[in-house]
Chains A and B, each alone.
Chain A
Amino acid sequence: MSPTSAPFEPTDPTAPDPPRPPVQRTVGRWITLRPIRPADYDFVRTAELSDDLGLRWRHRGATPSPESFAHTLWAGVLTQYLVVANADHRVLGLVSAYDADLRAGTCFVGFARFDPLDRSLGMIEAIILLTEHLFAHWPFRKLYGEAVEFNLADFGALLDGLLVEEGRLREHVFVGGRHWDLSYLALYRETWLANRDRLLPPWLDADGVAAPAPGPGSRLTVSIPGRPA
């Protein structure tokens, strides 16, 4: 730099805008995705072992000790959050991405609603935020979810053009005195990109780009109750 040159060049008004930095989005309309703290363990363990979730979620009726629970809570986890209501800070549930395989470009996603009577849209929003987070910041080709036969009906809305069933293990899960099928569902990156702009609130993306710009199209999500024990 010569002694007479200006320290900063004037902005060229014809230059394209610089790319916006990537952002992480964990706050939505109804909920915030909050990282789990050690102080949450007892609460989460109680919820996961409740009559409502005990058979449907990962432990399937078993009661791990507090010590082993803390380990299994994080086994294979890539990212995991509590779903906290913005209005009153209630913990609505948990969303988790686990068993990521970066070579294959895949990852499993699971979610648990702690209150079966909760009819808010918080868990839907949580799954959408997590899905966007995963596709935006890891090069996954697709996300997997597992659904035991008796949970599959919960995915009716998502199976309508968003999730595809890629496999089914016949009579794989024993619970309630009988065996049930276990379905493997998938959400492809292309499907997400074609649909994300109709699922993410426009104001959520106002300050940055969380994922590649979507093509023309519509919307959606992933998820799964019942991750492996």
Chain B
Amino acid sequence: MIAGPGADEPGFDEVAAAVASELGRPVVDLTPDAHLAGAVCRHVLDLYRLHLVLDRWLPGFALPEQLDLDHATLGDAHHYLVTRLAQGAAARPG
């Protein structure tokens, strides 16, 4: 189900489970410290698909461009997602 701005903020475990299911990663590996580049996403296509997972809570959400993806973690992604949800800002382009 797709929820828009104002939807309940997902817990980290909820996000991790969705990412694990979509990207085929063991959920036990997806801790808040798991690096997006490598542990979570094997290649750039996985990173693209990670955004589609996050769309479930905020359609059109994109990680900040300033985020250094070499060091960013799944905990960072969760943090920015819930921050945007709390802001209630529509992230959909256009």
Q: Chain A residues in contact with chain B, CB under 8 A? A: 27-30, 86-87, 119-121, 124-125, 128, 156-158, 198-199, 201-203, 219-221
- Residues in A whose Cβ lies below 8 Å from that of B2: 202-203
CB distance from A31 to the nearest CB of B (A): 9
- Could you tell me the distance between the alpha carbons of A158 and B45 in the complex, rounded to whole angstroms? 8
> What does DSSP make chain A's interface, helix, strand, loop or mixed?
loop
CB distance from B94 to the nearest CB of A (A): 6
Nearest A-chain residue to B47, judged by Cβ: A121
Query: In the complex, which of the residues A29, A199, A202 contacts B49, with contact meaning CB atoms closer than 8 Å?
Result: A199
Q: Chain B residues in contact with chain A, CB under 8 A? A: 2, 22, 42-49, 51-52, 55, 59-60, 62, 65, 69, 92-94
Query: In the complex, which of the residues A27, A156, A220, A221 contacts B93, with contact meaning CB atoms closer than 8 Å?
Result: A27
Contact, CB under 8 Å: B65 / A201: no
A121-B44, A219-B49 given; name 17 further pairs at CB < 8 Å.
A28-B93, A29-B51, A86-B93, A119-B69, A125-B48, A157-B45, A157-B46, A158-B45, A198-B52, A199-B49, A201-B51, A201-B52, A201-B55, A202-B52, A202-B55, A202-B59, A203-B55
- 21 A-B pairs whose Cβ atoms sit less than 8 Å apart in the complex: A27-B93, A29-B51, A29-B60, A30-B62, A86-B93, A124-B45, A124-B48, A125-B48, A156-B43, A157-B43, A157-B45, A198-B52, A199-B49, A199-B52, A201-B59, A202-B55, A202-B59, A203-B59, A203-B60, A203-B92, A219-B49
